[in-house]
Structures are given as structure tokens and as C-alpha cells.
């Protein structure tokens, strides 16, 4: 009886693979040039300030290609007085990107703004991350895709053969990637730079590409 149940169990698996095909997931990791600096800026302003006013402050400072990523109402605590005082502020969060070689110039503009802010600005913080630009990532993706497909086919072929099946054609593909950017923190006059030249970029950005490929299967 146990042998019969085991036989039926494997027969069920084979039937399921025949119906649903074989899926193989593979990854490849590559080191890319950090050719882009991504800035995040938070401007704290009085509650009656508008998005247009906050945007104009950055434009006047020489920052362009801005994107507003959020606006919230909150409180900041000033500990510089005898009794700490709370201030209600609207916090505008912006993002913008520049080539890696322009990181120091952009940070200099932000530092000048932080040192001499308009009356509307109550607080300002900014950070930057050196990362690979979308065009650099896509170029590597185009290079690695054939290799990922070959890896997936080899893996799927092994799975199909182990089930007594013959691998068919590709039925579907899903892919994604993630990168581990190099964080460069610029807050106030302080800067913390990792092991690369922030002025010219670096090659320490690790980007991992994923592919999941579904193959049809045929009976031997």
C-alpha cells in the first residue's frame, strides 16, 4: 500500500509539472560605476508656506529637476533656548539627481542655502547617495539577460530531466534588480564619504539582477 501511495504521489508531481511547466529563478551580480548622485532634501517651513514657495527656494539656489516626494505637518524642538520650544512646521521633501562629478557642486549649493536660508525656511537637511544611473543599469541588464536565460534554461533542464520530462519553450519571464548604493551623507558642514572619489564616481555599486523563467514541458 505504501509503495502504491508513493507511486501515486510521484505521478501527481509529474502531472503537475506537465501541466504547469517548470520555473527556474536565477541571479547575477555585477559591479557598476557610481555615475549619479541622488539627493534627498527636507525643508521645514512655517505652516502657511506653499509647495511653490519651497520649490522656488531650491530653484533660486541653483537646483533644478526637482521632484516633490512628500509634504507633512510636524513639530521640531529647539534646544538652543533656556526652555526648549516646539515649532510646528510643514516639511517638504524633494529629490533630485546630478552626475556623480557634480555632487560636490550641488552639495555646495545646498550648504550655502543652509548657512543663509530665507526667512521662510526654519530647518533644512539633505543627504546624497552615489548610485548607478538608470542608463548604466539598463546597459548591464541588456548584457546579462542572455546569460540569465542560459542559466535558467540549464537549471530548468535539470529539473525536467529529473522528472522524466522534456523541456519545452519559454512561456513567461519576470525580472527585477536591486542595487546597493554608496551612501554619502552631507548634513550641515559635515560629510562622510565611503571608499571612493566622490568627485568622479566609483565602481563599488553592487547591482543584483533577477530572472524567473517559466518553461513548458513535454512527455519524453
Decide if pLDDT at 43 tops 70. Answer: yes
- pLDDT at position 96 is 97
Q: What is the pLDDT of residue 47?
A: 87
Contacts of 128 (CB under 8 A, 6+ apart): 37, 38, 39, 40, 103, 106, 107, 184, 185, 186
* Domain termination residue (choose one: 93, 126, 159): 126
How many angstroms separate the CA atoms of 82 and 139, rounded?
Answer: 57
Q: Among 73, 96, 126, give the residue marking a domain's end.
A: 126
Residue 191, classed as helix, strand or coil, is: strand
Q: Percentage of residues in the chain with pLDDT exceeding 70?
A: 76
Q: What is the mean pLDDT of residues 190-204?
A: 44
pLDDT greater than 80 at residue 78: no
Q: Give domain status of residue 205, yes or no.
A: yes
pLDDT class of 209 with cuts at 50, 70, 90 = very high
pLDDT at position 213 is 95
**Residue 57 confidence class, pLDDT cut points 50, 70, 90:** very high
The answer as to whether 13 is a domain residue is no
pTM beyond 0.75, yes or no:
no
In this structure, are 140 and 120 located in the same domain?
no
Q: Are residues 42 and 26 part of one domain?
A: no
Residue-wise pLDDT tens digits, 165-184: 899 999 999 999 888 766 55
Measure the N-to-C terminal CA separation of the chain; round to a whole number of Å.
Answer: 28
- Contacts made by residues 84-91, CB under 8 angstroms, sequence distance 24+: 87/122, 88/47, 89/44, 89/45, 89/46, 89/47, 89/122, 89/123, 90/44, 90/45, 90/46, 90/47, 90/49, 91/42, 91/43, 91/44
Residues 74 and 152 in one domain: no
Number of domains in the chain: 2
In this predicted structure, what is the pLDDT of residue 81?
A: 64
Q: Are residues 46 and 122 in the same domain?
A: yes
- Do 170 and 61 lie in one domain? The reply is no
> 67-78 and 165-180 as β-strands: parallel, antiparallel, unpaired?
unpaired
Determine the average pLDDT of the residues in 98-124.
91
If asked whether residues 68 and 138 sit together in one domain, one would say no
The yes-or-no verdict on residue 220 having pLDDT over 60 is yes
Give a yes or no: residue 171 inside a domain: yes
pLDDT number for residue 185: 55
Residue 7 has pLDDT above 80, yes or no: no
In this prediction, residue 25 has a pLDDT band, given cuts at 50, 70 and 90, of: very high
Q: 27: exposed, middle or buried (C-beta count within 10 Å: 0-12, 13-18, 19+)?
A: middle
Do residues 41 and 28 both lie within one domain? no
* Gap between the Cα atoms of 127 and 39, Å rounded: 6
Residues 109 and 190 in one domain: no
Bridge-based pairing of strands 121-131 and 36-45 is antiparallel
Asked if residue 24 has pLDDT above 90, the reply is: yes
Q: Is the pLDDT of residue 12 over 90?
A: no
Do residues 29 and 41 both lie within one domain? no
At residue 184, the pLDDT reads 59
16 occurs within a structural domain? no
Residues 55 and 111 both lie in one domain = yes
Do 74 and 141 share a structural domain?
Answer: no
Confidence at residue 193, expressed as pLDDT on a 0 to 100 scale: 41
What single DSSP character describes residue 47?
A: T
The domain boundary, picked from 126, 153, 169, lies at: 126
Cα torsion through 51, 57, 61, 66, rounded to 10: 0
Whether the per-residue pLDDT at 77 is higher than 90: the answer is: no
Identify the domain containing residue 75 by its residue range. Answer: 37-126
Instruction: Give the pLDDT of residue 164.
Output: 87
CATH code, 156: 3.30.110
Amino acid at each position: 500500500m505504501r509503495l502504491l501511495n508513493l507511486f501515486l504521489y510521484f505521478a501527481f508531481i509529474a502531472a503537475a509539472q506537465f501541466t504547469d511547466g517548470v520555473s527556474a529563478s536565477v541571479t547575477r551580480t555585477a559591479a557598476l560605476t557610481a555615475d549619479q548622485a541622488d539627493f534627498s532634501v527636507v525643508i521645514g517651513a512655517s505652516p502657511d508656506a506653499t509647495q511653490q514657495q519651497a520649490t522656488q527656494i531650491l530653484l533660486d539656489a541653483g537646483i533644478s529637476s526637482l521632484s516633490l516626494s512628500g509634504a507633512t505637518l510636524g513639530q521640531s524642538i529647539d534646544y538652543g533656548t533656556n526652555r526648549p520650544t516646539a515649532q510646528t512646521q510643514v516639511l517638504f521633501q524633494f529629490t533630485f539627481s546630478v552626475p556623480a562629478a557634480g555632487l560636490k557642486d550641488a552639495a555646495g549649493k545646498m550648504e550655502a542655502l543652509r548657512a543663509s536660508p530665507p526667512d521662510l525656511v526654519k530647518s533644512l537637511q539633505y543627504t546624497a547617495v552615489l548610485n548607478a544611473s538608470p542608463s548604466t543599469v539598463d546597459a548591464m541588464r541588456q548584457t546579462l539577460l542572455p546569460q540569465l536565460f542560459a542559466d535558467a534554461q540549464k537549471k530548468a533542464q535539470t529539473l525536467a530531466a529529473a522528472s522524466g520530462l522534456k523541456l519545452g519553450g519559454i512561456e513567461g519571464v519576470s525580472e527585477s534588480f536591486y542595487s546597493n548604493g554608496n551612501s554619502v551623507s552631507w548634513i550641515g558642514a559635515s560629510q562622510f564619504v565611503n571608499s571612493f572619489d566622490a568627485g568622479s564616481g566609483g565602481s563599488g555599486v553592487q547591482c543584483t539582477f533577477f530572472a524567473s523563467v517559466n518553461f513548458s514541458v513535454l512527455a519524453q
